[in-house]
Amino acid sequence: MRRRLATGLAGSTLALAAVVATATSADAAPADKPQVLASWTQTSASSYNQWTAARANQAAWTAYGFDWSTDYCSTSPDNPFGFPFATSCARHDFGYRNYKAAGAFSANKSRLDSALYEDLKRVCNSYSGATKAACNSTAWTYYQAVKAFG
């Protein structure tokens, strides 16, 4: 009787361990999550474009567990003087939230802030003359604010 009970318990324990291991691995984010996060938070236009494409199709990235939430430009206007900065601010929020969740924020903050500035300048490149100068000045102000207080 003891032998049958011990065998039954051992079998049950192995089955439970297999179920737990499967559930844990199914809930875990893909191993390349840090690389994907890094690729979407660089200063380049291609990084920005990759992120905006992924943002438009968030369901495809569900397994990664990214935090897509945003308050856009926080307490600053999202479209100051009519300049559409909201999407750039959303990408900045994405970087901040996801690097904080990964415990790697301080090592990446400077690059995230620089990426915001580059994104804002790309917005400004669609203007010319005094309007472009005003946009660039506003972008610089936003960059200085996140650099100091973000």
Task: Please list the active-site residues.
Answer: 92
What is d(CA 142, CA 89) in angstroms, rounded to the nearest whole number? 10
| Per-residue confidence in pLDDT tens, the chain, 150 aa | 444 434 444 444 434 344 333 333 446 899 999 999 999 999 999 999 999 999 999 999 999 999 999 999 999 999 999 999 999 999 999 999 999 999 999 999 999 999 999 999 999 999 999 999 999 999 999 999 999 999
Copy the structure tokens of residue 103. Answer: 């415990």
Q: Is the dihedral of CA 58, 107, 139, 80 positive or negative?
A: positive
